[in-house]
Amino acid sequence: MEKRRKGIYVNVIEGVLMGFFMTLAILLIYAVVVHFVQVNESITSVLIIVATLLSVVYGSVYASRKTGKKGWLNGLMVALIYFIIFYLVALVAQSRDAMLTVKDLSRLGLCVFVGILAGMLGINIE
């Protein structure tokens, strides 16, 4: 029984890492596009949200498929860990106060909701 628990945690961490690699790929592609084309700041904000959600979906599905059970819990853990790390990196990069704003809380809620749904989806994908 203990061996299975370690597997769940390892799969969740792998899912978070897969999500970060996906975010990195999306942002690198966006950086190349921005280098050649003038882009509005509102588009950048939307892209960051979309990249975050796609990465949480990918990481949650990955972790749930590897674990094979409790997809909603895997998705929840992937989403929470991903958001916490993403938020801490944003704090360091922007040198702002460590207060969660309404915007941050809404992003957290959206990440958790999408992570739970993607985790349940990951269990049912063959």
**pTM exceeds 0.85, yes or no:** yes
Query: Using one digit for the tens of pLDDT, what is the confidence trace for 70-109?
Result: 899 999 999 999 999 988 888 888 766 677 789 889 999 9
Instruction: State residue 39's pLDDT score.
Output: 86
The 3 state secondary structure assigned to the chain is CHHHHHHHHHHHHHHHHHHHHHHHHHHHHHHHHHHHCCCCHHHHHHHHHHHHHHHHHHHHHHHHHHHCCCHHHHHHHHHHHHHHHHHHHHHHHHCCCCCCCHHHHHHHHHHHHHHHHHHHHHHHCC
Domain spans, the chain = 2-124
What confidence category does residue 6 fall into, taking pLDDT thresholds of 50, 70 and 90? low
